[in-house]
Amino acid sequence: MKRALTIADIEHYKPKTLEFYGDWLDAIGKPELTGVWLIWGDSGEGKTSFAMQLAKYLSEFVKVCYNSLEEGLSSSMKRTIENVNFGKQNNKFLLLDKEKIPDLIARLQRHKSPKAVIIDSLQYTGMTYGKVIALKEQFPHKLFIYTSHADSVEPKGNTAKSVKFEANVKIYVKDYVASIISRYGGGKPFTIWASGAERRNIGNI
């Protein structure tokens, strides 16, 4: 049994936060490097582009790996990465080519392994909600970000819906705009692709 915390313990607690700024601060706040986030949306709405933009931004602070379980290394994934423009000197980003979860766990157990892990997608992992929680608890000082298919405006499937309630940051992507609910503040919608969002909005008038 863990020791109960006093008010003094709580006052002395210093969480490790990422010092986000600009649009990312407005959208998410200053998040801790721990727990689970969820990004969901239908195909063609900008979900992967947003996840890759987030990966690039996180790589300013920590080492990031993007486990592309659905696409792997493909022409479309290469194009998405090129559009984000990481820069050839970026050595804090790794693309994992359909790496199975046991292999990912082995990777994360290594010294100097990535601190932020993006898994695309939750459905392709085959994980239950219990396994998602177990992975989070096994690596309490790492951040796990899952993408998910959507069922209307909700994540698709019971596991994804349960993960949504667990998530510290919930991100719904539609029409190239990310709507965000964050426990760290923020909350301002994040435009993923301005021209695409404008065209979609004009079409919806």
Q: Does residue 2 fall inside a structural domain?
A: no
Task: Please state the pTM of the whole predicted model.
Answer: 0.93
CATH number at residue 117: 3.40.50.300
Sign of the four-CA dihedral 73, 99, 53, 122: positive
Q: Does residue 5 fall inside a structural domain?
A: no
Q: Does residue 182 fall inside a structural domain?
A: yes
Q: How many domains does the chain have?
A: 1
CB contact at 8 A, 93 and 55: yes
Q: Does residue 11 fall inside a structural domain?
A: no
Q: Which of 38, 44, 46 is nearest to 121 (CA)?
A: 38
Domain carrying residue 197 = 16-203
Q: Does residue 98 fall inside a structural domain?
A: yes
* Digitized pLDDT (tens) for each residue of the chain, 205 residues in all: 778 989 987 888 888 899 999 999 999 999 999 999 999 999 999 999 999 999 999 999 999 999 999 999 999 999 999 999 888 778 999 999 999 999 999 999 999 999 999 999 999 999 999 999 999 999 999 999 999 999 999 999 999 999 999 999 999 999 999 999 999 999 999 999 887 777 766 555 4
Q: Does residue 186 fall inside a structural domain?
A: yes
Q: Does residue 170 fall inside a structural domain?
A: yes
Q: Which of 30, 23, 38 is nearest to 165 (CA)?
A: 38
Q: Does residue 3 fall inside a structural domain?
A: no
Exposed/middle/buried for residue 38 (C-beta within 10 Å: 0-12, 13-18, 19+): buried
